[in-house]
Protein backbone atom coordinates (compact mmCIF):
# COMPACT_ATOMS: atom_id res chain seq x y z
CA UNK A 1 0.00 0.00 0.00
CA UNK A 2 2.89 2.32 0.79
CA UNK A 3 4.26 1.55 -2.63
CA UNK A 4 0.91 2.40 -4.18
CA UNK A 5 1.08 5.90 -2.73
CA UNK A 6 4.64 6.28 -3.97
CA UNK A 7 3.40 5.46 -7.45
CA UNK A 8 0.49 7.87 -7.04
CA UNK A 9 2.91 10.59 -5.97
CA UNK A 10 5.09 9.89 -8.98
CA UNK A 11 2.21 10.06 -11.43
CA UNK A 12 0.85 13.19 -9.82
CA UNK A 13 4.27 14.82 -10.13
CA UNK A 14 4.45 13.77 -13.78
CA UNK A 15 1.03 15.11 -14.63
CA UNK A 16 1.64 18.39 -12.83
CA UNK A 17 4.53 18.97 -15.20
CA UNK A 18 1.89 19.99 -17.68
CA UNK A 19 -0.39 22.12 -15.56
CA UNK A 20 -2.22 23.92 -18.35
CA UNK A 21 -3.05 20.67 -20.08
CA UNK A 22 -4.23 19.19 -16.81
CA UNK A 23 -6.56 22.07 -16.01
CA UNK A 24 -7.99 22.21 -19.52
CA UNK A 25 -8.71 18.48 -19.55
CA UNK A 26 -10.32 18.56 -16.13
CA UNK A 27 -12.42 21.55 -17.15
CA UNK A 28 -13.40 19.81 -20.37
CA UNK A 29 -14.48 16.72 -18.46
CA UNK A 30 -16.58 18.88 -16.20
CA UNK A 31 -18.30 20.66 -19.07
CA UNK A 32 -19.05 17.49 -20.99
CA UNK A 33 -20.83 15.89 -18.07
CA UNK A 34 -22.49 19.19 -17.31
CA UNK A 35 -24.13 19.29 -20.74
CA UNK A 36 -25.40 15.78 -20.10
CA UNK A 37 -26.92 17.05 -16.89
CA UNK A 38 -28.50 19.98 -18.77
CA UNK A 39 -30.03 17.52 -21.20
CA UNK A 40 -31.78 15.72 -18.37
CA UNK A 41 -32.78 18.97 -16.76
CA UNK A 42 -34.39 20.49 -19.85
CA UNK A 43 -36.26 17.33 -20.61
CA UNK A 44 -37.76 17.37 -17.17
CA UNK A 45 -38.70 21.00 -17.45
CA UNK A 46 -41.15 19.75 -20.10
CA UNK A 47 -42.18 16.29 -18.96
CA UNK A 48 -41.79 16.28 -15.16
CA UNK A 49 -41.44 12.54 -15.01
CA UNK A 50 -40.14 9.64 -17.09
CA UNK A 51 -41.83 6.33 -16.56
CA UNK A 52 -42.98 7.56 -13.18
CA UNK A 53 -39.55 8.67 -11.97
CA UNK A 54 -39.16 12.28 -10.86
CA UNK A 55 -36.17 14.41 -11.85
CA UNK A 56 -34.65 14.43 -8.37
CA UNK A 57 -34.84 10.65 -8.22
CA UNK A 58 -33.24 10.27 -11.59
CA UNK A 59 -30.46 12.64 -10.59
CA UNK A 60 -29.49 10.24 -7.81
CA UNK A 61 -29.27 7.49 -10.35
CA UNK A 62 -27.27 9.69 -12.69
CA UNK A 63 -24.82 10.98 -10.12
CA UNK A 64 -24.16 7.55 -8.60
CA UNK A 65 -23.42 6.20 -12.05
CA UNK A 66 -21.19 9.12 -12.96
CA UNK A 67 -19.32 8.97 -9.68
CA UNK A 68 -18.67 5.26 -9.88
CA UNK A 69 -17.53 5.65 -13.48
CA UNK A 70 -15.25 8.62 -12.93
CA UNK A 71 -13.56 7.14 -9.87
CA UNK A 72 -12.96 3.92 -11.75
CA UNK A 73 -11.78 5.70 -14.86
CA UNK A 74 -9.32 7.68 -12.79
CA UNK A 75 -7.81 4.80 -10.84
CA UNK A 76 -8.25 1.91 -13.25
CA UNK A 77 -7.07 3.96 -16.21
CA UNK A 78 -4.15 1.57 -16.67
CA UNK A 79 -6.55 -1.10 -17.88
CA UNK A 80 -8.51 1.36 -19.99
CA UNK A 81 -5.41 2.24 -22.00
CA UNK A 82 -4.03 -1.28 -21.82
CA UNK A 83 -3.65 -1.75 -25.60
CA UNK A 84 -1.21 1.17 -25.52
CA UNK A 85 0.73 -0.61 -22.82
CA UNK A 86 1.06 -3.63 -25.07
CA UNK A 87 1.93 -1.66 -28.18
CA UNK A 88 4.58 0.44 -26.51
CA UNK A 89 6.16 -2.66 -25.04
CA UNK A 90 5.82 -1.30 -21.52
CA UNK A 91 4.06 -4.48 -20.48
CA UNK A 92 7.43 -6.20 -20.88
CA UNK A 93 8.84 -3.80 -18.36
CA UNK A 94 6.02 -4.59 -15.97
CA UNK A 95 6.70 -8.29 -16.32
CA UNK A 96 10.37 -8.00 -15.40
CA UNK A 97 9.57 -6.30 -12.11
CA UNK A 98 8.97 -8.37 -9.00
CA UNK A 99 5.45 -7.19 -8.23
CA UNK A 100 1.96 -8.35 -9.03
CA UNK A 101 0.94 -7.58 -12.63
CA UNK A 102 -2.49 -6.21 -11.75
CA UNK A 103 -0.95 -3.86 -9.22
CA UNK A 104 1.58 -2.63 -11.73
CA UNK A 105 -0.98 -2.09 -14.47
CA UNK A 106 -3.10 -0.11 -12.02
CA UNK A 107 -0.16 2.07 -11.12
CA UNK A 108 1.06 2.49 -14.69
CA UNK A 109 -1.50 5.18 -15.30
CA UNK A 110 -3.75 7.17 -13.02
CA UNK A 111 -5.65 9.94 -14.72
CA UNK A 112 -6.12 12.74 -12.24
CA UNK A 113 -7.74 15.01 -14.79
CA UNK A 114 -10.90 12.91 -14.34
CA UNK A 115 -11.55 14.95 -11.20
CA UNK A 116 -13.62 17.22 -13.46
CA UNK A 117 -16.16 14.50 -13.98
CA UNK A 118 -15.93 13.44 -10.36
CA UNK A 119 -16.59 16.97 -9.17
CA UNK A 120 -19.65 17.15 -11.39
CA UNK A 121 -21.06 13.97 -9.93
CA UNK A 122 -20.39 15.14 -6.38
CA UNK A 123 -22.23 18.39 -7.03
CA UNK A 124 -25.11 16.52 -8.57
CA UNK A 125 -25.36 14.07 -5.71
CA UNK A 126 -25.16 16.92 -3.22
CA UNK A 127 -28.10 18.50 -4.97
CA UNK A 128 -30.12 15.31 -5.39
CA UNK A 129 -29.71 13.94 -1.87
CA UNK A 130 -31.82 16.62 -0.14
CA UNK A 131 -34.04 17.28 -3.19
CA UNK A 132 -35.13 13.69 -3.68
CA UNK A 133 -37.46 13.70 -0.72
CA UNK A 134 -35.95 10.40 0.47
CA UNK A 135 -35.81 9.98 4.22
CA UNK A 136 -32.12 9.23 4.76
CA UNK A 137 -32.17 6.45 7.27
CA UNK A 138 -29.12 4.27 7.87
CA UNK A 139 -30.21 1.57 5.41
CA UNK A 140 -30.74 4.14 2.66
CA UNK A 141 -27.30 5.62 3.19
CA UNK A 142 -25.77 2.16 3.06
CA UNK A 143 -27.66 1.48 -0.14
CA UNK A 144 -26.05 4.47 -1.83
CA UNK A 145 -22.62 3.47 -0.51
CA UNK A 146 -23.08 -0.07 -1.82
CA UNK A 147 -24.36 1.25 -5.13
CA UNK A 148 -21.14 3.25 -5.51
CA UNK A 149 -18.94 0.34 -4.50
CA UNK A 150 -20.75 -2.10 -6.73
CA UNK A 151 -20.57 0.37 -9.60
CA UNK A 152 -16.83 0.75 -9.26
CA UNK A 153 -16.45 -3.02 -9.13
CA UNK A 154 -18.46 -3.53 -12.31
CA UNK A 155 -16.70 -0.79 -14.23
CA UNK A 156 -13.31 -1.99 -13.04
CA UNK A 157 -14.22 -5.51 -14.19
CA UNK A 158 -15.25 -4.17 -17.59
CA UNK A 159 -11.91 -2.41 -17.97
CA UNK A 160 -10.06 -5.58 -16.97
CA UNK A 161 -12.14 -7.57 -19.46
CA UNK A 162 -11.32 -5.00 -22.11
CA UNK A 163 -7.61 -5.36 -21.34
CA UNK A 164 -7.94 -9.14 -21.51
CA UNK A 165 -9.46 -8.97 -24.98
CA UNK A 166 -6.67 -6.74 -26.21
CA UNK A 167 -4.22 -9.59 -25.78
CA UNK A 168 -5.93 -11.31 -28.67
CA UNK A 169 -6.70 -8.43 -30.96
CA UNK A 170 -4.34 -5.56 -30.44
CA UNK A 171 -6.60 -3.22 -32.39
CA UNK A 172 -10.28 -2.76 -33.09
CA UNK A 173 -11.57 -2.76 -29.54
CA UNK A 174 -13.86 0.21 -29.99
CA UNK A 175 -16.88 -2.04 -29.61
CA UNK A 176 -16.00 -2.48 -25.96
CA UNK A 177 -16.78 1.19 -25.42
CA UNK A 178 -20.42 0.29 -25.91
CA UNK A 179 -20.20 -1.45 -22.60
CA UNK A 180 -18.16 1.08 -20.67
CA UNK A 181 -19.07 4.50 -22.05
CA UNK A 182 -22.37 3.06 -23.24
CA UNK A 183 -23.32 1.86 -19.79
CA UNK A 184 -22.51 5.25 -18.43
CA UNK A 185 -24.82 6.93 -20.93
CA UNK A 186 -27.59 4.36 -20.53
CA UNK A 187 -27.22 4.50 -16.79
CA UNK A 188 -28.29 8.12 -16.54
CA UNK A 189 -31.85 6.89 -16.30
CA UNK A 190 -33.20 3.95 -14.35
CA UNK A 191 -32.67 1.07 -16.75
CA UNK A 192 -36.31 -0.02 -16.79
CA UNK A 193 -37.31 2.91 -18.98
CA UNK A 194 -35.58 1.27 -21.95
CA UNK A 195 -37.86 -1.74 -21.76
CA UNK A 196 -37.64 -5.32 -20.64
CA UNK A 197 -34.97 -6.50 -23.09
CA UNK A 198 -32.41 -3.85 -22.22
CA UNK A 199 -33.00 -4.36 -18.53
CA UNK A 200 -32.43 -8.10 -18.85
CA UNK A 201 -29.25 -7.50 -20.86
CA UNK A 202 -27.91 -5.14 -18.22
CA UNK A 203 -28.83 -7.57 -15.47
CA UNK A 204 -27.50 -10.86 -16.74
CA UNK A 205 -24.84 -9.96 -19.31
CA UNK A 206 -23.34 -6.69 -18.15
CA UNK A 207 -24.51 -6.38 -14.54
CA UNK A 208 -25.08 -2.64 -14.50
CA UNK A 209 -28.64 -2.91 -13.24
CA UNK A 210 -27.42 -4.71 -10.14
CA UNK A 211 -26.05 -1.52 -8.71
CA UNK A 212 -28.05 1.01 -10.64
CA UNK A 213 -31.64 -0.14 -10.99
CA UNK A 214 -32.64 -2.67 -8.32
CA UNK A 215 -31.18 -0.98 -5.23
CA UNK A 216 -32.50 2.27 -6.65
CA UNK A 217 -36.01 0.85 -6.38
CA UNK A 218 -35.43 0.28 -2.69
CA UNK A 219 -34.02 3.74 -2.32
CA UNK A 220 -37.12 5.46 -3.65
CA UNK A 221 -39.48 3.08 -1.83
CA UNK A 222 -40.71 1.28 -4.92
CA UNK A 223 -39.69 -1.96 -3.29
CA UNK A 224 -39.55 -3.14 0.30
CA UNK A 225 -37.12 -5.97 -0.32
CA UNK A 226 -34.16 -5.56 2.08
CA UNK A 227 -32.05 -7.90 -0.09
CA UNK A 228 -31.86 -5.25 -2.78
CA UNK A 229 -29.51 -3.22 -0.58
CA UNK A 230 -26.80 -5.85 -0.93
CA UNK A 231 -27.38 -6.64 -4.59
CA UNK A 232 -24.67 -4.19 -5.80
CA UNK A 233 -22.06 -6.24 -3.98
CA UNK A 234 -22.60 -8.93 -6.61
CA UNK A 235 -20.57 -6.61 -8.82
CA UNK A 236 -17.51 -7.93 -6.99
CA UNK A 237 -18.41 -11.42 -8.13
CA UNK A 238 -18.34 -10.14 -11.71
CA UNK A 239 -14.66 -9.33 -11.15
CA UNK A 240 -13.73 -13.00 -10.89
CA UNK A 241 -14.43 -14.14 -14.46
CA UNK A 242 -12.98 -10.91 -15.83
CA UNK A 243 -9.81 -11.35 -13.81
CA UNK A 244 -9.49 -14.98 -14.88
CA UNK A 245 -9.89 -13.96 -18.49
CA UNK A 246 -7.14 -11.39 -18.09
CA UNK A 247 -4.80 -14.00 -16.59
CA UNK A 248 -5.58 -16.30 -19.48
CA UNK A 249 -4.70 -13.55 -21.96
CA UNK A 250 -1.47 -12.80 -20.13
CA UNK A 251 -0.34 -16.39 -20.54
CA UNK A 252 -0.93 -16.08 -24.28
CA UNK A 253 0.89 -12.78 -24.42
CA UNK A 254 3.14 -12.44 -27.43
CA UNK A 255 5.05 -9.26 -26.77
CA UNK A 256 6.14 -6.98 -29.61
CA UNK A 257 9.39 -7.12 -31.55
CA UNK A 258 12.07 -4.68 -30.62
CA UNK B 1 23.66 -20.93 -13.67
CA UNK B 2 21.39 -20.79 -16.68
CA UNK B 3 20.25 -23.87 -18.49
CA UNK B 4 17.99 -23.98 -21.53
CA UNK B 5 16.85 -27.29 -22.96
CA UNK B 6 14.97 -27.62 -26.24
CA UNK B 7 13.14 -24.35 -25.93
CA UNK B 8 10.64 -23.82 -28.74
CA UNK B 9 8.30 -20.98 -29.50
CA UNK B 10 5.95 -20.47 -32.42
CA UNK B 11 4.14 -17.27 -33.26
CA UNK B 12 0.93 -17.03 -35.20
CA UNK B 13 1.12 -14.16 -37.62
CA UNK B 14 -1.82 -12.79 -39.59
CA UNK B 15 -1.03 -12.50 -43.26
CA UNK B 16 -2.61 -10.75 -46.16
CA UNK B 17 -1.53 -9.38 -49.49
CA UNK B 18 -1.57 -5.71 -50.40
CA UNK B 19 -4.61 -4.12 -51.98
CA UNK B 20 -8.05 -3.03 -50.99
CA UNK B 21 -9.86 -6.23 -51.95
CA UNK B 22 -7.44 -8.16 -49.77
CA UNK B 23 -8.30 -5.91 -46.84
CA UNK B 24 -11.97 -6.75 -47.29
CA UNK B 25 -11.21 -10.43 -47.60
CA UNK B 26 -9.14 -10.35 -44.43
CA UNK B 27 -12.13 -8.93 -42.58
CA UNK B 28 -13.99 -12.16 -42.99
CA UNK B 29 -11.36 -14.78 -43.33
CA UNK B 30 -7.94 -14.30 -41.86
CA UNK B 31 -5.03 -16.31 -43.04
CA UNK B 32 -2.37 -17.17 -40.58
CA UNK B 33 1.17 -18.18 -40.92
CA UNK B 34 3.10 -19.96 -38.21
CA UNK B 35 6.55 -18.60 -37.62
CA UNK B 36 8.93 -20.79 -35.69
CA UNK B 37 10.77 -18.19 -33.67
CA UNK B 38 12.77 -20.72 -31.68
CA UNK B 39 13.42 -24.38 -32.37
CA UNK B 40 15.11 -26.58 -29.81
CA UNK B 41 17.34 -23.90 -28.40
CA UNK B 42 19.66 -25.35 -25.76
CA UNK B 43 22.65 -23.86 -23.99
CA UNK B 44 24.26 -23.47 -20.58
CA UNK B 45 25.74 -20.34 -19.09
CA UNK B 46 27.78 -20.38 -15.88
CA UNK B 47 27.75 -17.77 -13.16
CA UNK B 48 29.91 -14.77 -13.86
CA UNK B 49 30.15 -15.41 -17.59
CA UNK B 50 29.78 -12.69 -20.19
CA UNK B 51 28.08 -13.96 -23.31
CA UNK B 52 27.39 -12.22 -26.60
CA UNK B 53 24.20 -13.33 -28.22
CA UNK B 54 24.20 -12.42 -31.89
CA UNK B 55 22.18 -13.08 -34.98
CA UNK B 56 20.41 -11.15 -37.74
CA UNK B 57 17.12 -9.33 -37.18
CA UNK B 58 14.28 -11.69 -36.50
CA UNK B 59 16.56 -14.60 -35.64
CA UNK B 60 15.02 -15.12 -32.22
CA UNK B 61 17.40 -13.18 -29.98
CA UNK B 62 14.75 -11.07 -28.32
CA UNK B 63 12.42 -14.04 -27.94
CA UNK B 64 15.10 -15.97 -26.08
CA UNK B 65 15.82 -13.01 -23.81
CA UNK B 66 12.11 -12.58 -23.16
CA UNK B 67 11.73 -16.22 -22.25
CA UNK B 68 14.73 -16.06 -19.93
CA UNK B 69 13.36 -12.95 -18.26
CA UNK B 70 9.90 -14.41 -17.74
CA UNK B 71 8.00 -12.24 -20.22
CA UNK B 72 7.14 -14.99 -22.68
CA UNK B 73 6.02 -18.54 -22.07
CA UNK B 74 7.64 -20.98 -24.51
CA UNK B 75 5.60 -23.69 -26.24
CA UNK B 76 7.97 -26.39 -25.14
CA UNK B 77 11.26 -27.07 -23.44
CA UNK B 78 12.83 -26.29 -20.13
CA UNK B 79 14.58 -23.24 -18.84
CA UNK B 80 16.04 -23.19 -15.36
CA UNK B 81 17.83 -20.16 -14.00
CA UNK B 82 19.25 -20.54 -10.50
CA UNK B 83 16.73 -23.28 -9.83
CA UNK B 84 13.73 -21.25 -10.98
CA UNK B 85 11.60 -21.44 -14.11
CA UNK B 86 11.19 -17.81 -15.22
CA UNK B 87 7.57 -17.88 -16.42
CA UNK B 88 6.37 -19.97 -13.48
CA UNK B 89 8.23 -18.29 -10.64
CA UNK B 90 8.16 -14.89 -12.29
CA UNK B 91 8.21 -12.69 -9.21
CA UNK B 92 11.02 -14.44 -7.33
CA UNK B 93 12.99 -14.87 -10.54
CA UNK B 94 12.90 -11.23 -11.67
CA UNK B 95 14.10 -10.11 -8.25
CA UNK B 96 17.50 -11.50 -9.30
CA UNK B 97 17.73 -10.13 -12.81
CA UNK B 98 18.20 -6.76 -14.41
CA UNK B 99 17.01 -6.04 -17.93
CA UNK B 100 17.99 -3.15 -20.19
CA UNK B 101 16.00 -2.84 -23.38
CA UNK B 102 18.07 -0.43 -25.47
CA UNK B 103 15.06 0.93 -27.29
CA UNK B 104 12.67 1.27 -24.38
CA UNK B 105 12.92 3.32 -21.28
CA UNK B 106 12.25 2.15 -17.78
CA UNK B 107 12.53 5.60 -16.28
CA UNK B 108 9.51 7.75 -15.60
CA UNK B 109 9.62 10.25 -18.39
CA UNK B 110 8.64 13.48 -16.67
CA UNK B 111 10.36 13.26 -13.32
CA UNK B 112 14.02 13.57 -12.33
CA UNK B 113 15.95 10.33 -12.75
CA UNK B 114 16.69 10.12 -9.04
CA UNK B 115 12.94 9.91 -8.32
CA UNK B 116 12.71 6.93 -10.65
CA UNK B 117 15.60 5.34 -8.82
CA UNK B 118 13.80 5.82 -5.49
CA UNK B 119 10.66 4.18 -6.81
CA UNK B 120 12.61 1.29 -8.33
CA UNK B 121 14.23 0.82 -4.97
CA UNK B 122 10.78 0.47 -3.40
CA UNK B 123 9.64 -1.94 -6.10
CA UNK B 124 12.60 -4.23 -5.52
CA UNK B 125 12.58 -3.71 -1.74
CA UNK B 126 16.25 -2.78 -1.66
CA UNK B 127 17.36 -1.99 1.88
CA UNK B 128 18.86 1.37 2.76
CA UNK B 129 22.52 0.52 3.12
CA UNK B 130 22.67 -1.56 -0.03
CA UNK B 131 20.81 1.10 -2.02
CA UNK B 132 23.22 3.80 -0.90
CA UNK B 133 26.22 1.63 -1.69
CA UNK B 134 24.94 0.65 -5.13
CA UNK B 135 23.85 4.17 -5.96
CA UNK B 136 27.23 5.68 -5.12
CA UNK B 137 29.06 2.96 -7.03
CA UNK B 138 26.83 3.37 -10.06
CA UNK B 139 26.85 7.16 -10.14
CA UNK B 140 30.62 7.13 -9.92
CA UNK B 141 31.27 4.44 -12.52
CA UNK B 142 28.71 5.72 -14.98
CA UNK B 143 29.44 9.35 -14.24
CA UNK B 144 25.81 10.32 -13.78
CA UNK B 145 26.07 12.31 -10.54
CA UNK B 146 25.34 15.53 -12.41
CA UNK B 147 22.41 14.37 -14.45
CA UNK B 148 20.27 12.37 -12.03
CA UNK B 149 18.39 15.49 -11.00
CA UNK B 150 17.25 16.16 -14.57
CA UNK B 151 13.95 14.78 -15.84
CA UNK B 152 14.51 11.78 -18.10
CA UNK B 153 12.88 13.46 -21.09
CA UNK B 154 15.58 16.15 -21.14
CA UNK B 155 18.52 13.77 -21.24
CA UNK B 156 20.49 12.94 -24.35
CA UNK B 157 20.37 9.36 -25.54
CA UNK B 158 23.81 8.58 -24.14
CA UNK B 159 23.00 10.11 -20.76
CA UNK B 160 19.68 8.30 -20.63
CA UNK B 161 21.24 4.95 -21.50
CA UNK B 162 23.70 5.33 -18.65
CA UNK B 163 20.80 6.05 -16.31
CA UNK B 164 18.88 3.06 -17.68
CA UNK B 165 21.79 0.77 -16.95
CA UNK B 166 22.12 2.19 -13.45
CA UNK B 167 18.38 1.72 -12.89
CA UNK B 168 18.56 -1.96 -13.74
CA UNK B 169 21.45 -2.58 -11.36
CA UNK B 170 20.15 -0.84 -8.24
CA UNK B 171 18.93 -4.11 -6.77
CA UNK B 172 22.30 -5.82 -7.42
CA UNK B 173 20.98 -8.53 -9.75
CA UNK B 174 23.04 -11.65 -10.31
CA UNK B 175 22.12 -11.71 -13.96
CA UNK B 176 21.98 -8.78 -16.36
CA UNK B 177 20.33 -8.84 -19.79
CA UNK B 178 21.42 -6.11 -22.13
CA UNK B 179 19.37 -5.84 -25.31
CA UNK B 180 21.32 -3.60 -27.68
CA UNK B 181 22.72 -1.30 -24.99
CA UNK B 182 24.87 0.77 -27.35
CA UNK B 183 22.30 1.36 -30.07
CA UNK B 184 22.44 4.92 -31.31
CA UNK B 185 25.19 6.02 -28.92
CA UNK B 186 28.15 8.20 -29.87
CA UNK B 187 31.69 6.84 -29.63
CA UNK B 188 32.41 8.30 -26.18
CA UNK B 189 29.22 6.94 -24.62
CA UNK B 190 29.73 3.57 -26.28
CA UNK B 191 33.17 3.21 -24.80
CA UNK B 192 31.96 4.36 -21.39
CA UNK B 193 29.13 1.84 -21.42
CA UNK B 194 31.44 -0.99 -22.49
CA UNK B 195 33.99 -0.16 -19.82
CA UNK B 196 31.25 -0.14 -17.23
CA UNK B 197 29.86 -3.51 -18.28
CA UNK B 198 33.35 -5.00 -18.03
CA UNK B 199 33.82 -3.53 -14.58
CA UNK B 200 30.63 -4.85 -13.05
CA UNK B 201 31.19 -8.26 -14.61
CA UNK B 202 34.66 -8.38 -13.10
CA UNK B 203 33.96 -6.84 -9.71
CA UNK B 204 30.42 -7.91 -8.87
CA UNK B 205 30.61 -11.24 -10.72
CA UNK B 206 27.40 -10.34 -12.51
CA UNK B 207 26.51 -12.70 -15.33
CA UNK B 208 25.95 -10.63 -18.46
CA UNK B 209 24.04 -11.64 -21.56
CA UNK B 210 24.37 -9.12 -24.31
CA UNK B 211 22.52 -8.97 -27.61
CA UNK B 212 23.82 -6.55 -30.15
CA UNK B 213 24.39 -5.86 -33.80
CA UNK B 214 27.52 -3.92 -33.03
CA UNK B 215 30.41 -6.33 -33.47
CA UNK B 216 32.75 -3.94 -31.71
CA UNK B 217 30.69 -4.52 -28.57
CA UNK B 218 31.31 -8.22 -28.97
CA UNK B 219 35.02 -7.78 -29.60
CA UNK B 220 35.43 -5.47 -26.65
CA UNK B 221 33.35 -7.43 -24.18
CA UNK B 222 32.71 -11.09 -24.64
CA UNK B 223 34.78 -14.21 -24.72
CA UNK B 224 31.90 -16.44 -25.60
CA UNK B 225 29.51 -16.02 -28.49
CA UNK B 226 26.20 -17.66 -29.23
CA UNK B 227 25.10 -17.26 -32.82
CA UNK B 228 21.43 -17.76 -33.52
CA UNK B 229 19.69 -17.84 -36.88
CA UNK B 230 16.20 -18.88 -37.92
CA UNK B 231 15.49 -19.91 -34.36
CA UNK B 232 18.42 -22.30 -33.96
CA UNK B 233 21.73 -21.99 -32.18
CA UNK B 234 24.31 -22.22 -34.96
CA UNK B 235 27.53 -21.58 -33.14
CA UNK B 236 28.56 -21.62 -29.51
CA UNK B 237 32.18 -20.72 -28.98
CA UNK B 238 34.79 -18.03 -28.54
CA UNK B 239 35.51 -15.07 -30.74
CA UNK B 240 38.56 -16.86 -32.17
CA UNK B 241 36.37 -19.87 -33.05
CA UNK B 242 34.20 -17.43 -34.91
CA UNK B 243 37.20 -15.96 -36.71
CA UNK B 244 38.35 -19.43 -37.75
CA UNK B 245 34.97 -20.09 -39.22
CA UNK B 246 35.46 -17.03 -41.38
CA UNK B 247 37.49 -17.37 -44.56
CA UNK B 248 41.27 -17.22 -44.40
CA UNK B 249 41.59 -14.18 -46.61
CA UNK B 250 43.52 -11.02 -45.94
CA UNK B 251 43.56 -7.84 -47.94
CA UNK B 252 46.85 -6.03 -48.65
CA UNK B 253 46.54 -2.44 -49.77
CA UNK B 254 49.57 -0.81 -51.38
CA UNK B 255 50.61 2.45 -52.95
CA UNK B 256 53.38 1.85 -55.48
CA UNK B 257 55.32 3.71 -58.14
CA UNK B 258 54.53 2.70 -61.68
CA UNK B 259 51.37 2.24 -63.70
CA UNK B 260 50.55 -1.40 -63.43
CA UNK B 261 51.33 -4.32 -61.20
CA UNK B 262 53.16 -7.29 -62.66
CA UNK B 263 51.62 -10.74 -62.28
CA UNK B 264 51.77 -12.04 -58.73
CA UNK B 265 51.64 -15.75 -57.92
CA UNK B 266 48.97 -17.04 -55.50
CA UNK B 267 47.45 -13.60 -55.19
CA UNK B 268 44.38 -11.96 -56.63
CA UNK B 269 44.48 -8.34 -57.54
CA UNK B 270 41.02 -7.07 -56.74
CA UNK B 271 41.65 -3.44 -57.60
CA UNK B 272 44.44 -1.70 -59.51
CA UNK B 273 44.02 1.93 -60.44
CA UNK B 274 47.64 2.72 -61.24
CA UNK B 275 49.68 3.52 -58.18
CA UNK B 276 47.10 2.14 -55.77
CA UNK B 277 46.05 -1.51 -55.55
CA UNK B 278 44.29 -4.02 -53.33
CA UNK B 279 45.53 -7.58 -53.31
CA UNK B 280 43.74 -10.49 -51.69
CA UNK B 281 45.82 -13.36 -50.36
CA UNK B 282 44.82 -16.75 -49.08
CA UNK B 283 46.69 -17.27 -45.81
CA UNK B 284 46.52 -21.03 -46.19
CA UNK B 285 48.86 -20.77 -49.18
CA UNK B 286 51.02 -17.83 -48.27
CA UNK B 287 51.55 -15.91 -45.03
CA UNK B 288 51.11 -12.18 -44.86
CA UNK B 289 54.81 -11.48 -44.27
CA UNK B 290 55.81 -13.70 -47.21
CA UNK B 291 53.32 -11.87 -49.35
CA UNK B 292 54.60 -8.46 -48.29
CA UNK B 293 58.22 -9.29 -49.03
CA UNK B 294 57.24 -10.91 -52.32
CA UNK B 295 55.29 -7.84 -53.42
CA UNK B 296 58.07 -5.46 -52.43
CA UNK B 297 60.52 -7.50 -54.48
CA UNK B 298 58.29 -7.04 -57.55
CA UNK B 299 57.39 -3.36 -57.31
CA UNK B 300 58.57 -0.29 -55.47
CA UNK B 301 56.12 0.02 -52.57
CA UNK B 302 55.45 3.46 -51.05
CA UNK B 303 52.88 2.50 -48.46
CA UNK B 304 51.43 -0.80 -47.37
CA UNK B 305 48.75 -2.10 -44.98
CA UNK B 306 47.45 -5.59 -44.25
CA UNK B 307 43.88 -6.11 -43.11
CA UNK B 308 42.20 -9.25 -41.84
CA UNK B 309 38.48 -9.68 -42.16
CA UNK B 310 36.52 -7.59 -39.69
CA UNK B 311 34.19 -9.36 -37.31
CA UNK B 312 31.32 -7.77 -39.21
CA UNK B 313 32.47 -9.44 -42.40
CA UNK B 314 32.95 -12.78 -40.70
CA UNK B 315 29.48 -12.62 -39.24
CA UNK B 316 28.02 -11.58 -42.57
CA UNK B 317 29.73 -14.50 -44.28
CA UNK B 318 28.49 -16.84 -41.53
CA UNK B 319 24.94 -15.59 -42.02
CA UNK B 320 25.42 -16.37 -45.69
CA UNK B 321 26.93 -19.78 -45.02
CA UNK B 322 24.02 -20.78 -42.77
CA UNK B 323 21.55 -19.15 -45.15
CA UNK B 324 19.97 -16.99 -42.47
Per-position DSSP letters for A25-80, written without gaps between them: HHHHHHHHHHHHHHHHHHHHHHHSEETTEEHHHHHHHHHHHHHHHHHHHHHSHHHH
pLDDT per residue rounded down to tens, chain B (324 residues): 899 999 999 887 777 677 777 767 766 676 777 888 899 999 999 999 999 998 888 888 888 999 999 888 898 899 999 999 998 899 999 999 999 987 788 888 888 999 999 999 999 999 999 999 999 999 998 889 989 999 999 999 889 999 999 999 999 999 999 988 888 888 888 898 899 999 999 999 999 999 988 888 888 888 899 988 888 898 898 887 877 776 667 888 888 887 777 777 777 888 888 788 888 888 777 888 888 888 888 888 888 888 877 777 777 887 787 776
User: pLDDT (tens digit, 9 = 90+) per residue, A167-176?
Assistant: 887 665 677 7
Q: Would you state the pLDDT for residue A172?
A: 56
Question: How distant is the Cα of B180 from the closest Cα of chain A, in angstroms?
Answer: 10
> Which residues of A touch chain B, with CB atoms under 8 Å apart?
2-3, 6-7, 10, 13-15, 17-18, 88-90, 92-93, 95-100, 251, 253-255, 257-258
- Mean pLDDT, rounded, for A80-109: 89
Mode of pairing for the β-strands spanning B232-238 and A53-54: unpaired
Which residues of A are less than 8 Å from B115 in CB distance? 10, 13
User: pLDDT (tens digit, 9 = 90+) per residue, B56-89?
Assistant: 888 888 889 999 998 888 988 999 999 999 988 9
Query: Which ipTM value was assigned to this complex?
Result: 0.80
Q: Whole-prediction pTM value?
A: 0.82
User: pLDDT (tens digit, 9 = 90+) per residue, B38-63?
Assistant: 999 999 999 999 999 988 888 888 88
Q: Would you state the pLDDT for residue B101?
A: 85
Nearest to B122 among A6, A89, A254 (CB): A6
Query: Closest-CA residue in chain A for B153?
Result: A14
Cα A248 to chain centroid, rounded: 23
Nearest to B123 among A3, A89, A90 (CB): A3
A–B interface: beta-carbon pairs under 8 A: 74
Q: What is the mean pLDDT of chain A?
A: 86
Amino acid sequence: MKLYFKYVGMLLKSQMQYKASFIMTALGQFLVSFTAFLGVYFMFSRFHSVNGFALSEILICFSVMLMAFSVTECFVRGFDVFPRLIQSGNLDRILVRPRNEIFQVLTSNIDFSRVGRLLQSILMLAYAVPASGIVWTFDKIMTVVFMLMGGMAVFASLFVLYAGISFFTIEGLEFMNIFTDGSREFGKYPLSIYGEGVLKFFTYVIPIALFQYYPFLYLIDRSEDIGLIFLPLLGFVFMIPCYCFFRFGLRKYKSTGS
Amino acid sequence: MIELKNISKTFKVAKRNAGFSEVLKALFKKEYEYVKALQNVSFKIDDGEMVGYIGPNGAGKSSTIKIMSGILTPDGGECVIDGLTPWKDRISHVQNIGVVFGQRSQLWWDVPVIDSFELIREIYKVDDSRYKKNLSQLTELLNIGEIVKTPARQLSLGQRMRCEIAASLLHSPKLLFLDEPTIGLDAVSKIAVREFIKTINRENKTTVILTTHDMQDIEALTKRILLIGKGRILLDGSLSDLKERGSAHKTITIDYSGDKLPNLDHMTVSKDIGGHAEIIIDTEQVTASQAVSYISSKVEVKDISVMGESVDEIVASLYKEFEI
